[in-house]
A = this chain, B = another copy of it.
């Protein structure tokens, strides 16, 4: 399983085509019929203000091990083939890519569930914090959303059934 996970925290941008090609693998591998990807992009406004970008802080010693652990958990829970979890840090302008997750599986539902699980848990468990940089020069830490903690919790309750 060693090279079936691609986990990374980086300041540099990423190329979705390259990540997808890695997820797909080549014909020498057993083929997973389903590949799901999610990419998050910096929005140009929130409910109140126009934004020029965001700044992402993280807990550097913890982030990568936590992403690897998350990928391994998803892989075993949803019987995924390959998994990518990649997050950028630092200052990102509007429209830049922030985060990518990808999951492959023989069946599409597992690939969709795996990718959603990765995103939901990433938003509840990985030590990353977003500060919005407003167009007028203001800065504001983003507050965690109840919606996101509920999204993460649904995987707790489903695991008990």
Contact = CB atoms under 8 A, between A and B. Distances in A.
Copies of this protein in the complex? 2
Interface string A32-73: 111111111111100000000000000000000000000000
Q: Is the interface of A mostly helix, strand, loop or mixed?
A: mixed
Contacts of A38: 34-36, 108, 111-112
B44 A40 contact: no
| Contact-residue size bin, chain A (C-beta under 8 Å from the other chain) | 35 or more
A153 interface: no
A156 B32 CA distance: 29
A91 to B, nearest CB: 16
A113 to B, nearest CB: 10
Contact of A33 (B15, B17, B24, B42): B42
Contacts of A40: 33-35, 108
Interface of A: 15-18, 20-21, 24, 26-27, 30-44, 94-95, 97, 106, 108-109, 111-112, 115-116, 119, 151
15 contacts: A16-B16, A24-B97, A26-B95, A27-B94, A33-B41, A33-B43, A34-B38, A34-B40, A35-B38, A36-B37, A36-B115, A38-B112, A43-B106, A109-B151, A112-B116
Contacts of A115: 36, 112
Greatest chain B CB density within 10 A among A18, A33, A94 is at A33
A32 B94 CA distance: 11
